[in-house]
Chains A and B, each alone.
Chain A
Amino acid sequence: RKEVEQDPGPFNVPEGATVAFNCTYSNSASQSFFWYRQDCRKEPKLLMSVYSSGNEDGRFTAQLNRASQYISLLIRDSKLSDSATYLCVVMYSGGGADGLTFGKGTHLIIQP
């Protein structure tokens, strides 16, 4: 069974702090990984893809650990505007939409 698991949170973090959360996946045939961001009552939006070598986009760093089958998202110098739900997305080698699985998301609250 294809499972993508996330800690639902909420993570309550003071502004300016660093926060990290993980997402675990069960299918070792997974090929591609993404983080999406979803604001309250809005649609999910692609935040960043996750590459095998890890990648960084400003204050955001995504990493992949294939041996332990998890991906992570780290946010540095957190802003109030980072408050959102972060969805982990895993694509399996079979491809197609049935190979794309969304986690239920981790809720992040940045507090002033």
Chain B
Amino acid sequence: DAGVIQSPRHEVTEMGQEVTLRCKPISGHDYLFWYRQTMMRGLELLIYFNNNVPIDDSGMPEDRFSAKMPNASFSTLKIQPSEPRDSAVYFCASSLPWTEGYTFGSGTRLTVV
């Protein structure tokens, strides 16, 4: 099993540009999560999907953020326009039932200058 695959690993972009982060969950996992991690705030849940359907997006900070899951094997998180305060590590994770824990991808380190 290749695990949760995220791309790109690193992204440096200029303020105002559109950024798209990608995630391929583990095959068979029903749940997919997008998290953001910063030193100040720790891990924050942005949005999660169950069977490709967005269930809770209350963690999405602003309308500049959007996420999609067009099929069971792919999800995107888009930021448009990006701002310096969006700089963080963005993790995607997938799971079966909650009690079995999550598997995280390697993350995308985003720097907006």
Contact = CB atoms under 8 A, between A and B. Distances in A.
Interface string B70-81: 000000000000
A49 B31 contact: no
Interface residues of B, number: 21
Interface residues of A, number: 22
A104 B104 contact: no
B56 A32 contact: no
Contacts of A9: none
Given A91-B99, A98-B56, A43 B106 contact: yes
B43 to A, nearest CB: 4
Contacts of A43: 91, 104-107
A8 to B, nearest CB: 10
Given A42-B106, A43-B91, A43-B106, A97 B101 contact: no
A46 B45 contact: no
A58 interface: no
A103 B98 CA distance: 17
28 contacts: A32-B99, A34-B101, A42-B106, A42-B107, A43-B105, A43-B106, A43-B107, A44-B43, A44-B91, A44-B102, A45-B104, A46-B101, A46-B103, A49-B99, A91-B98, A96-B55, A96-B56, A96-B98, A97-B33, A97-B45, A97-B55, A97-B98, A99-B98, A100-B98, A102-B42, A102-B43, A104-B42, A105-B42
Interface of B: 31, 33, 41-43, 45, 48, 55-56, 58, 91, 98-99, 101-107, 109
Interface of A: 32, 34, 36, 41-46, 49, 87, 91, 95-100, 102-105
